[in-house]
Structure 1
Amino acid sequence: MSPATLSRRLANLEFELGQLLFARSPTGYALTKEGRVLLESCTSIENGFSALSSSLEAAAEEPTGTVRVATSENIANLILLPRLPNFLARYPLINIDFQTDVQPVPLHAREADLAVRVSMPERGPFKVRTLGTLRHALYLSGEIISDGQEINLGVIGWSENCQSLPIARAAMAHRYWRESSVRVSSLKGQVAAAQAGLGYAYLPCLVGDHTPGLVRIDGPENYLSQDIYLILHDDSIEVPRIRAVANFIRDSLHETKDMLAGSIIGMGSDA
């Protein structure tokens, strides 16, 4: 809904309750003490309805419905989507909504049924399972290597708002690091910059090994390594459609564990 509509509905809710739920300021809205109390109560109610819905769905014989999966674009595009046709042939009544936003989808708000991440979830009623390891290495354009121009290049930088990311910190700690005239804010940008010959790219092996024109220069030993977690709500694992998708994701990442760990070279080759 539009900001105006949302603001009007919040004002109506406060009027009906006789309580100020939000403190307004030029920078936005913040919950008041009364608002936090109401939020806690509403969360309990929502969780109760979700548990009831899950128990009813668990009684269904045929898995059916939509499952929202929050994951990275690379895991979705390179691992899950290529294996999805076989899954859908087996479960034709299940729909999967992949959410690959750069910012993590908040699981507490139940905006996703399950998530595949390289970070542990926030505190809450979640089940967590480790699915594999995502390893990183250093890549460079094959054309740059052929021309012998790599000697003057450094590791491609990350934008200032991304420098708290583990991959950005690892790149800045590399011996090839130097202040760069080019910084980007996404893995796609890192790949494009490396393909253009702007420097070395510190990338997940899953990405770098399967990008045309890039050659692995070093790693993955002694480079960034991250566990991959499957995260579900406690009350959803018994829902047939969610359990089926969770098993599909588990099996898909197990099949590709060598790709994730950098043990299999794709389109490029070791230098």
Structure 2
Amino acid sequence: MADWENLRHFMAVGRNGTLSGAARALKVDHATVSRRLAALEAELDVMLVDRLPRSCRLTAIGQQVFDQAVTMESAADGVARIAQAAHTPLIGKVTLSAPPVLVAHLLAQYLADFRYLYPDVRLSLAAQAQQVSLSRREADVAIRLVRPEETGSFARKVGTMAFGLYARRDYAHREAPDRWQFIAYDESFADMPQQKWLLGIAGARPVACELSDISGHLIAARAGAGVAGLPCFLGDADPDLMQVGEDVPPFSREIWLMVHRDLRRMSSVRAVMDFVVALITQHGGFSA
């Protein structure tokens, strides 16, 4: 097996293109880099680098060795992150990205409880309809309404959010479905599953208004503007609203909790994940 220090010096040559550049990057002298490179070539019994007058160029086999070494380096860094996470105290900032409806109407209501349980963890809630990248550290933990496919991350289904049609209790046309008017999203949300579901129910009946977020739909329905498709945990909790429509096709969204594998065992991140799971599983408005 090749000596790791020799490989590390070789990678520096491959990245910088010269022995002197590698030496500066590693904060060693030129001779050390040259010696380490020669030692690696002797170990492997292959020529890895063409030494040109002003630069170094990887040979064909050198490029293959370089690519494998980079993969080894990445794996070693991952081991270090996992070890660090295991010893990280229950302190620091954790960013949780979640759909706006869950941030505004569920998570934000329990921030005081979280703070009481974990006074040294600062929970930063990001209400984001779009997906974020955990690998680029755009968030530490994410809640998504579709099954995540990002590589390098751990995902777990934590519940299901059912939807229903809701209208104000004294909505003028509540007992006349053929005269219903609907509260929908604008055209930029045409591909959103709940928009397709709602418009499929509406059919030829008119859309009374369009709003870009679910909180606006709730307020408009409460004001009597029309019939809205709302998460049941939201509509059922509002005393001014009631569920309408007996033959409405069922619709729901899965709730997935996602974290990068390297952060999964970090104490502060684990605390946030456990708190989210407890909220959703214990809340009466969600199913398994």
TM-score, normalised by the number of residues in structure 2 = 0.66
Aligned partners of 1:144 and 1:150 also within 8 Å: no
Counterpart position of 1:195: 222
**Cα deviation digits, residues 205-244 of structure 1 (max 9, x gap):** 1221223422111379732111110101011111111111
For the residue of structure 1 that corresponds to 2:147, the secondary structure is: coil
1:101 alignment partner, one of 121, 125, 128: 128
Cα drift, residue 110 of structure 1: 1.4
**Cα deviation digits, residues 80-120 of structure 1 (max 9, x gap):** 33333333223211110000023333333211011111112
**Cα deviation digits, residues 15-74 of structure 1 (max 9, x gap):** xx9xxxxxxxxxxxxxxxxxxxxxxxx9x98997676445324213x3111110001233
Counterpart position of 2:260: 233
For the residue of structure 1 that corresponds to 2:225, the secondary structure is: coil
For the residue of structure 1 that corresponds to 2:95, the secondary structure is: strand
For the residue of structure 1 that corresponds to 2:221, the secondary structure is: helix
CA, structure 1 residues 123+56, in 2 after alignment: closer, same or farther (shift >3 Å)?
closer
Aligned partners of 1:171 and 1:177 also within 8 Å: no
CA distance in 2: counterparts of 1:132 and 1:220, whole angstroms: 24
Counterpart position of 1:31: none
Counterpart position of 1:243: 270
Cα drift, residue 200 of structure 1: 0.9
CA, structure 1 residues 174+158, in 2 after alignment: closer, same or farther (shift >3 Å)?
same
1:92 aligned to 2:119? yes
CA, structure 1 residues 133+199, in 2 after alignment: closer, same or farther (shift >3 Å)?
same
Counterpart position of 1:65: 92
Cα drift, residue 153 of structure 1: 1.8
Runs of 5+ consecutive residues of structure 2 not aligned to the other structure: 1-16, 18-69
Counterpart position of 1:55: 83
Cα drift, residue 193 of structure 1: 2.5
CA distance in 2: counterparts of 1:230 and 1:135, whole angstroms: 17
Counterpart position of 1:182: 209
CA, structure 1 residues 229+177, in 2 after alignment: closer, same or farther (shift >3 Å)?
farther
1:114 alignment partner, one of 137, 141, 166: 141
Query: Which stretch of structure 1 is more off in the superposition, 181-190 or 148-157?
Result: 148-157
Q: Using the aligned pairs only, state the percent identity.
A: 24
CA RMSD of aligned residues (A): 3.2
Cα drift, residue 156 of structure 1: 2.2
Amino acid paired to 2:241 = L
Counterpart position of 2:168: 141
Counterpart position of 2:249: 222
Counterpart position of 1:260: 286
Counterpart position of 1:83: 110
Greater length-normalized contact order (CA 8 Å, ≥ 6 residues apart)? 1
For the residue of structure 2 that corresponds to 1:107, the secondary structure is: coil
Cα drift, residue 173 of structure 1: 1.0
Counterpart position of 1:166: 193
Cα drift, residue 177 of structure 1: 5.4
CA, structure 1 residues 179+145, in 2 after alignment: closer, same or farther (shift >3 Å)?
closer
Runs of 5+ consecutive residues of structure 1 not aligned to the other structure: 1-16, 18-41, 262-271
Aligned partners of 1:154 and 1:177 also within 8 Å: no
**Cα deviation digits, residues 124-168 of structure 1 (max 9, x gap):** 111111111100000011221598676522322321111100000
Aligned partners of 1:237 and 1:243 also within 8 Å: yes
CA, structure 1 residues 221+170, in 2 after alignment: closer, same or farther (shift >3 Å)?
closer
Counterpart position of 1:5: none
For the residue of structure 2 that corresponds to 1:77, the secondary structure is: helix
Query: Which stretch of structure 1 is more off in the superposition, 174-183 or 204-213?
Result: 174-183
